[in-house]
């Protein structure tokens, strides 16, 4: 690979496992602000400092943070084209038109389709859903989907989580007498489709107050607008928020502003009155109370598995089914897809790692791998797995029809979307976000694209972006940690991007002498720590088993961790979830 243009300022990247993770303590807030907030809230310095770090400096802002209110959601008609979208849907209902709800095959797309179709069916009978086949049609709006609409007399298509770049497809539909309403949250290109309405808060000329909604969130704003015209209130729409919360968690959007409110109430629905599809999954996993993390790692992968391994319509069927027995039957089938997905991504990851080694590409600035036989449904997961080993922007390609398709993932702070855009001369189609994107290209352009992508990244990535990092909120003493602090931290939830669970660092820790590696492969670390105090706290460090020697013989060390709770035989106790440890 040609590395002539590699920045000289950056030394050749090494494998992640040979690197020390960087610990970064966030800037500490002004003491006067923390003390003032402590006084009005009657909270201790640690809690008040965490709040000020999050931009919460007054009683009223703190109240909004700790007690999210649905009444604080923005007026949906502030979004560009919302009035046009509502008028066109109302016209379709009046004229008894057939409406096709069309969405992507991932979690955001399938939850969006379930949300929109199930709401519209309460006010109009002629509603159908369409999820493109990942392998036959690929991402987004397809000609095949438009032909389906035309053949079945659909005169209006509402897209969810896709469509912002479907310029040619929308024009094709227009020729067939089919109108489009696009609900998307991806970045628009230089041109936008000639649709009846485009709801996308990332449009430059859209002045909606919050632009970080996921696709399902944009869909929710549309049903909120429709509902308001019928005299319904936000309380009438609460049952749909389980879908929105799931999409927010799965799509890794910031858990701030409207997203935090929607996720907060959506989690309450999941835990108190879940729809039949969620109840079927929860019954399988036998977990009582789910957090946003559980939604991301337990519910979302199962919904995703349908589109990855079979077809996304299975997920829509599960999420719109009202009969619990039928839901459990679909959930059981989806569970088999999820098991197959896990086995497949594990195998492909091993093959990809071997390919990197065989081609002597361990020291590049990027990871770009290709095998025509790899399963298209899991290449995004494999890309994330490869970043765990080689911490750098990553693309995993496979064959898709007569083209190659790739999923891209990035590292903290690096915009992989912009890097891919800089290689657009070799690309047929692409889209996505800063940290995750997808693209297609002709096979003959693969090597040229690979070289160009390496060149672009090597010239634009900063040295610190090639090393994994942990952002630390505060350095504290162990004796600060108690049940009261834990109770307050739990109220910071739901957690996610831009509202992460607080991370602490403590120095001068010692293991009590019983530290050991645990787990089937002994890859995890379980220790009990003290810090010049009789207080002892159990710690679990997933994937930290290799660092056992740092804590043996009561050697002092420092640790980065989140405060957590462990439930065992009905008893709940505090524990520290270790993120990393280092010797003093």
Q: What is the pLDDT of residues 483-511, one digit of tens each?
A: 999 999 999 999 999 999 999 999 999 99
Place of tokens 């890794």: 252
H-run or E-run covering 317: helix 313-320
Q: Does 427 have pLDDT greater than 70?
A: yes
Q: Does 9 have pLDDT greater than 50?
A: no
DSSP string, 523-535: -EEEEEEESSSS-
User: How would residue 5 be classed by pLDDT, with cut points 50, 70 and 90?
Assistant: very low
CB-based contact 23:469 (threshold 8 Å) = yes
Give me the architecture of the 72-336 domain, per CATH.
Alpha-Beta Complex (3.90)
What share of the chain in percent tops pLDDT 90? 87
Q: Whole-angstrom Cα distance, residue 387 to residue 133?
A: 27
Q: Is the dihedral of CA 390, 294, 109, 252 positive or negative?
A: negative
H-run or E-run covering 261: helix 257-272
- What are the pLDDT digits (tens) for 65-87? 999 999 999 999 999 999 999 99
pLDDT value of residue 19: 62
H-run or E-run covering 454: helix 446-460
Report the SS3 class of residue 561: strand
Q: Which residues share a beta bridge with 558? A: 582
Alpha-carbon Rg for the chain, nearest whole angstrom, is: 25
Q: Does domain 473-583 have CATH number 2.40.270.10?
A: no
Q: Map out the domains of the chain as residue ranges.
A: 72-336, 359-466, 473-583
Question: Which CATH number, 3.30.420.130, 3.80.30.20, 3.10.310.30, 3.40.30.10, labels domain 359-466?
Answer: 3.10.310.30
Instruction: For the chain, report the end-to-end CA distance as a whole number of angstroms.
Output: 41
Q: Quick one: tokens of 532?
A: 């010049």
Bridging pattern class, strands 524-530 and 516-518: antiparallel
- For residue 439, report the phi and psi dihedrals to the nearest 5 degrees: -155, 160
Q: Which residues share a beta bridge with 441? A: 404
CB-based contact 123:92 (threshold 8 Å) = no
Q: Whole-angstrom Cα distance, residue 109 to residue 130?
A: 11
Q: Is the dihedral of CA 150, 153, 159, 164 positive or negative?
A: positive
Length of the chain: 584
Neighbouring CB atoms inside 10 A of 290's CB total 19
Burial class (CB in 10 A: 0-12, 13-18, 19+), 78: middle
Residues 6 or more apart whose CB falls under 8 angstroms from that of 58 comprise 37, 40
Q: Cα–chain-centroid distance for residue 432?
A: 12
Q: Whole-angstrom Cα distance, residue 96 to residue 86?
A: 15
- What are the pLDDT digits (tens) for 538-583? 999 999 999 999 999 999 999 999 999 988 777 889 999 999 999 9
Report the SS3 class of residue 571: strand
């Amino acid at each position: 690979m040609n590395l002539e243009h590699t920045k000289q300022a950056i030394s050749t990247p090494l494998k992640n496992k040979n690197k020390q993770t960087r610990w970064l303590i966030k800037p500490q807030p002004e003491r006067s602000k923390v003390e003032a907030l402590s006084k009005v809230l009657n909270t201790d310095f640690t809690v008040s400092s965490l709040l000020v770090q999050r931009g919460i400096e007054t009683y009223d802002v703190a109240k909004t943070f700790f007690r999210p209110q649905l009444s604080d959601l923005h007026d949906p008609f502030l979004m560009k084209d919302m009035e046009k979208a509502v008028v066109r849907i109302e016209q379709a209902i009046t004229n008894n038109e057939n409406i096709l709800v069309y969405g992507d095959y991932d979690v955001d797309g399938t939850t969006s389709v379930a949300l929109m179709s199930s709401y519209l069916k309460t006010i109009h009978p002629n509603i159908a859903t369409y999820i493109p086949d990942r392998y036959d049609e690929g991402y987004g709006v397809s000609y095949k989907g438009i032909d389906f609409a035309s053949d079945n007399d659909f005169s209006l298509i509402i897209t969810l989580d896709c469509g912002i770049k479907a310029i040619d497809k929308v024009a094709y539909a227009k020729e067939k007498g089919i109108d489009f309403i696009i609900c998307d949250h991806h970045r628009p290109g230089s041109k936008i489709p000639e649709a009846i309405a485009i709801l996308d808060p990332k449009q430059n000329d859209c002045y909606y107050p919050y632009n970080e909604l996921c696709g399902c969130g944009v869909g929710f704003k549309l049903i909120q607008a429709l509902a308001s015209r019928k005299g319904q209130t936000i309380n009438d729409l609460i049952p749909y928020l389980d879908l929105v919360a799931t999409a927010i968690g799965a799509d890794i959007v910031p858990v701030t502003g409207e997203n935090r409110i929607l996720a907060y109430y959506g989690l309450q629905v999941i835990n108190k009155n879940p729809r039949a599809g969620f109840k079927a999954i929860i019954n399988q996993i036998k977990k009582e109370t789910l957090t946003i993390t559980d939604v991301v790692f337990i519910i979302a992968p199962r919904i995703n598995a349908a589109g990855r391994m079979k077809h996304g319509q299975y997920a829509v069927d599960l999420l719109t089914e009202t009969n619990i027995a039928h839901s459990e039957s679909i959930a059981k089938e989806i569970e088999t897809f999820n098991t197959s997905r896990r086995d497949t991504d594990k195998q492909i990851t091993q093959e990809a790692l071997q390919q990197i080694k065989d081609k002597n590409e361990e020291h590049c600035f990027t990871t770009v791998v290709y095998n025509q036989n790899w399963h298209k449904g899991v290449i995004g997961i494999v890309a994330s797995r490869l970043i765990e080993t080689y911490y750098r922007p990553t693309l995993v390609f496979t064959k898709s029809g007569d083209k190659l398709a790739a999923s891209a993932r990035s590292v903290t702070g690096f915009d992989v979307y912009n890097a891919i855009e800089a290689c657009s001369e070799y690309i047929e189609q692409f889209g996505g976000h800063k940290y995750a994107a997808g693209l297609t290209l002709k096979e003959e352009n693969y090597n040229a694209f690979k070289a160009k992508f390496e060149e672009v990244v090597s010239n634009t990535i900063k040295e610190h972006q090639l090393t994994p990092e942990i952002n630390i909120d505060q350095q504290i003493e162990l004796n600060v940690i108690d049940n009261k602090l834990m109770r307050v931290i739990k109220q910071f939830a739901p957690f996610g991007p831009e509202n992460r669970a607080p991370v602490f660092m403590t120095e001068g820790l010692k293991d009590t002498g019983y530290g050991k590696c645990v787990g089937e492969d002994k890859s995890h670390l379980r220790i009990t720590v003290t810090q010049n105090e009789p207080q002892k706290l159990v710690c679990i460090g997933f994937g930290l088993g290799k660092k056992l020697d740092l804590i043996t013989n009561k050697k002092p060390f420092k640790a980065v961790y989140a405060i957590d709770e462990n439930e065992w035989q009905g008893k709940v106790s505090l524990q520290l979830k270790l993120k990393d440890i280092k010797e003093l």
